[in-house]
Structure 1
Amino acid sequence: MSADSSLAPAALCLLRTSAIGDVTHVVPLVHTLQEAWPQTRLSWVVGKLEHTLVGDLPGVEFVVFDKRRGLAGMREVWRTLRGRRFDALLHMQVALRANLLSLGISARRRIGYDHARAKDLHGLVINERIPARSGQHVLEAIGSFAEPLGLKQSRVRWDLPIPAEARDWALAQLPGEVPTLLVSPASSHVLRTWRPERYATVIDHVATRGWRVALVGGRGTADRALADAILAHCRRPPLDLTGKDTLKRLLALMTRARLVLSPDSGPMHMANAVGTPVLGLHAASNPDRSGPYSDRRWCVNCYDAAARRFLGKPAAALPWGTKIEYPGVMDLITVEAVIERFEAFAAHAGLA
Structure 2
Amino acid sequence: METFNPLRDAVPLGEIKRALVIKLRHHGDVLVSSPVFSVLKAHAPQVEIDALVYADTAEMVTLHPAIAEVHTIDRKWKQLGAIGQLKAELALYNTLKARGYDLIIHLTEHWRGAWLCRLLKPRWAVGPAVRGRSKRWKQSFSHIQAMPFNALRHMAETNLDALRRIGIQPGVNERCMTLVPGAPAEAVVAKHLAGFGLSGRGFIHIHPASRWFFKCWPVENMAALVERLQVEGHAIILTAAPSPDEKRMLDSIQGRLTKPAFCLSGQLSLKELAALTRVATLFVGVDSAPMHIAAAVGTPTVALFGPSGDKQWGPWGVPCRIVSSTRHQCRPCGIDGCGGGKLSECLTSLSVDEVFQAVQDVLSQCGGVGK
Question: Structure 2 length as normaliser, TM-score?
Answer: 0.81
1:188 is the counterpart of 2:211:
yes
Q: Deviations over 1:295-327 (max 9, x none)?
A: 46422022x64443xxxxx76xxxxxx513323
Give the RMSD, CA atoms, in angstroms. 2.9
The share of aligned pairs that are identical, in percent, is 20
Instruction: Please name the residue that 2:52 is paired with.
Output: 45
User: 1:337 — aligned with what?
Assistant: 354
State which of 30, 46, 65 in structure 2 corresponds to 1:23. Answer: 30
Whether the aligned pair in 2 keeps the contact of 1:282 and 1:299 (CA below 8 Å) is: yes
| Cα drift, residue 256 of structure 1 | 1.5
Q: Could you tell me how far apart the structure 2 residues matched to 1:189 and 1:104 are? A: 35
In structure 2, how many angstroms separate the alpha carbons of the residues matched to 1:118 and 1:157? 32
Residue number in structure 2 paired with 1:349: 366
Deviation at 1:276, TM superposition (A): 0.3
Query: How do 1:1-352 residues align onto structure 2 when only pairs under 5 Å count?
Result: 7-58=14-65, 59-70=67-78, 72=85, 74-82=89-97, 85-95=100-110, 104-115=119-130, 125-132=140-147, 134=150, 135-154=152-171, 155-174=174-193, 175-295=198-318, 297-302=320-325, 305-308=327-330, 323-326=334-337, 327-329=342-344, 330-351=347-368
Counting matched residue pairs gives 338
Where 1:325 maps in the other structure, the secondary structure is coil
Instruction: Assess if the C-alpha contact under 8 Å between 1:178 and 1:211 holds in 2.
Output: no
CA distance in 2, matches of 1:201, 1:350: 24
Structure 1 residues 336, 25: closer, same or farther in 2, change over 3 A? same
- Higher-Rg structure is 2
Q: For 1:151-179, what per-residue CA distance to the aligned partner results, in whole angstroms no more than 9, with x for missing partners?
A: 11212234533322222222232333433
TM-score normalised by structure 1 residue count: 0.85
Q: Deviations over 1:212-241 (max 9, x none)?
A: 101111112222122112112222211110
Q: Which amino acid aligns with 1:258?
A: T
Structure 1 unpaired stretches of 5+: 309-313, 316-321
Q: Is the 8 A contact 1:192 1:264 kept in 2?
A: yes
- How big is the shift at 1:148? 2.4
Instruction: State the match for 1:319 in structure 2.
Output: none
Distance 1:305 1:78 in 2: 51
Q: Which residue number in structure 2 is paired with residue 318 of structure 1? A: none
Which moves more between the two structures, 269-278 or 164-173?
A: 164-173
Letter in 2 for 1:113: P
| CA distance, structure 2, for counterparts of residue 63 and residue 210 of structure 1 | 45
Could you tell me whether the CA contact under 8 Å between 1:74 and 1:101 is conserved in 2? no
